[in-house]
Chain A
């Protein structure tokens, strides 16, 4: 299990959010989540420009085993998606917290970020899940 970067915030459903220097929010799934899902074979990315609402399905990742909805941690507008995942969905397995990011949101309500778990809380959540 790779170290959880301290600058990330999390949903209980295992999505991470990173606030970039320009204020945009980058979203992916945790290393723990990719491990649970197994080898990813397909990612359904959102449309650029689409409006998203916090806590609702925004993308879908499919592993050999199952399809899973990916919720956006914040509301706003999709400004970029990780096109690399179209050809190499396994990037999420290899680097969930880095090159395996999924989409970038321009947040409409930054207060929503305060609702998310910090890295320590998330670590505790997955430790409890494993028992």
Chain B
């Protein structure tokens, strides 16, 4: 049973190649994934991300609940509309999912979680919420369109109601606000994304999604598929759940330590294990690698190091760099020169600091 977003027929009319993605029939590209990638780096592209799961949390003790549920500290959110990226951990310190949480009121927070993990996330959140009397409400009535690229904000702003435009133009990074779109449609506009470019992620009632998509198309925003979304986020150094971390990987092993807040006295789920791991040191670390010769790094390939074997996590050809890049999980410590087994051939790869691409340009040393 495959689910469809409200934009499904629109994608097909645009000639999209559709694939199954976590149970959803989604566009992988509309012709050329590489051209779509470049459109986002150089101008503006849009993605249908309506398959992602929006969950609203209501209740007087919602903030207290999120202090317990999330590894990042919800108390960093002090301003209405502000967003926070966090992991949701199990008792073993493994990552159940990564998510964004928005502060919409002292008794109202909104989560956006991954599509492929929807069922287990909802079950976990509902179970943990009971003790706090927090109401967990999925919002399948929302569609979501991500508009990304150096020209993305300008193109969205041009479609907003005059009274909202100056306020949305001033919206800071990782902040969201309500605004009116074409024909007065109500939008929830967040200055967030998954491409390494500036832009907005826009949530709106599903019945208006086709009209917004058409208006963006008319404004010159290029439709981009999930294929381009994957290469864009990898170049930008962003993790993908299921490939770069899962329930058997802790944030320390997935380069997500920056999202863990070991603030005094906050008893979040998984904390005890994370503290033990931090004190003892973890056995595996996540690094960035570049392949300077021809070939493509892929998920699951073996990485050979002086310290033992590792594996390629997310790996792909990187259109902005014209070569292959990857995340790899390798044994901690001095790994020496790194090689990757590509179909029985051992090729040298170079360890680099990532992101690989920032603001449309390759980073130094890549």
Query: What 1/0 mask marks residues of chain A from 10 to 50 whose CB sits below 8 Å from any chain B CB?
Result: 00000000000000000000000001101101101000000
Q: Is the CB of B296 within 8 A of A62?
A: yes
Give bound CA distance, A35 to B298, whole Å: 20
Q: B residues within 8 A CB of A65?
A: 28, 33, 227
Q: A residues within 8 A CB of B294?
A: 42, 86
Q: B residues within 8 A CB of A60?
A: 343
Q: Is the CB of A64 within 8 A of B295?
A: no
Q: B residues within 8 A CB of A86?
A: 294
Contact of B227 among A36, A42, A64 (CB under 8 A): A64
Give bound CA distance, A86 to B293, whole Å: 12
Task: Say yes or no: is B317 at the interface (Cβ < 8 Å to chain A).
Answer: yes
Task: Say yes or no: is B32 at the interface (Cβ < 8 Å to chain A).
Answer: yes
Give bound CA distance, A60 to B32, whole Å: 20
Q: Is the CB of B28 within 8 A of A39?
A: no
Task: Say yes or no: is A67 at the interface (Cβ < 8 Å to chain B).
Answer: yes
* Residue count of chain A within 8 Å CB distance of chain B: 15
Contact of A42 among B29, B33, B296 (CB under 8 A): B296
A-contacting residues, B318-366, CB 8 Å: 319, 343
Main secondary structure of the interface of A (DSSP, over half): mixed
A-contacting residues, B300-322, CB 8 Å: 316-317, 319
Q: Is the CB of A38 within 8 A of B295?
A: no
Closest Cβ–Cβ distance, residue B231 to chain A (whole Å): 6
Task: Say yes or no: is B161 at the interface (Cβ < 8 Å to chain A).
Answer: no
Q: Is the CB of A39 within 8 A of B34?
A: yes
Q: Is the CB of B343 within 8 A of A67?
A: yes
Interface centre among B227, B295, B296 (most CB of A within 10 A): B296
Query: What 1/0 mask marks residues of chain B from 244 to 258 whose CB sits below 8 Å from any chain A CB?
Result: 000000000000000
Main secondary structure of the interface of B (DSSP, over half): mixed
Q: With A38-B17, A38-B33 known to touch, is A67 a contact of B298 (CB < 8 Å)?
A: yes
Give bound CA distance, A38 to B298, whole Å: 16
Query: What 1/0 mask marks residues of chain A from 89 to 126 whose CB sits below 8 Å from any chain B CB?
Result: 00001000000000000000000000000000000000
Q: With A38-B28, A39-B32, A39-B34 known to touch, is A64 a contact of B316 (CB < 8 Å)?
A: yes
Query: What 1/0 mask marks residues of chain A from 52 to 86 whose CB sits below 8 Å from any chain B CB?
Result: 00000000101011110000000000000000001
Give bound CA distance, A65 to B296, whole Å: 10
Q: With A62-B295, A64-B316, A67-B298 known to touch, is A38 a contact of B227 (CB < 8 Å)?
A: yes
Q: Is the CB of B17 within 8 A of A35?
A: yes
Q: Is the CB of B28 within 8 A of A41?
A: no
Give bound CA distance, A127 to B32, whole Å: 22
- Nearest residue in B to A57 (C-beta to C-beta)? B343
Q: With A38-B29, A39-B33, A42-B317 known to touch, is A64 a contact of B298 (CB < 8 Å)?
A: no
Give bound CA distance, A81 to B73, whole Å: 58
Q: B residues within 8 A CB of A44?
A: 295
Give bound CA distance, A86 to B26, whole Å: 32
Q: Is the CB of A67 within 8 A of B29?
A: no
Closest Cβ–Cβ distance, residue A87 to chain B (whole Å): 10
Q: Is the CB of B343 within 8 A of A64?
A: no
Give bound CA distance, A25 to B76, whole Å: 67
A-contacting residues, B262-302, CB 8 Å: 294-296, 298
Give bound CA distance, A93 to B294, whole Å: 18
Q: Is the CB of B317 within 8 A of A64?
A: yes
A-contacting residues, B3-60, CB 8 Å: 17, 28-29, 32-34
19 A-B contacts (beta carbon < 8 Å):
A35-B17, A38-B33, A39-B32, A39-B33, A41-B317, A42-B294, A42-B295, A42-B296, A42-B317, A62-B295, A62-B296, A62-B317, A64-B34, A64-B227, A65-B28, A65-B33, A65-B227, A66-B298, A67-B296
List residues of chain B with CB under 8 Å of any chain A CB. Answer: 17, 28-29, 32-34, 227, 231, 294-296, 298, 316-317, 319, 343
* Shortest beta-carbon contacts, A-B, top 7: A41-B317, A39-B34, A62-B296, A64-B317, A39-B33, A64-B33, A38-B33
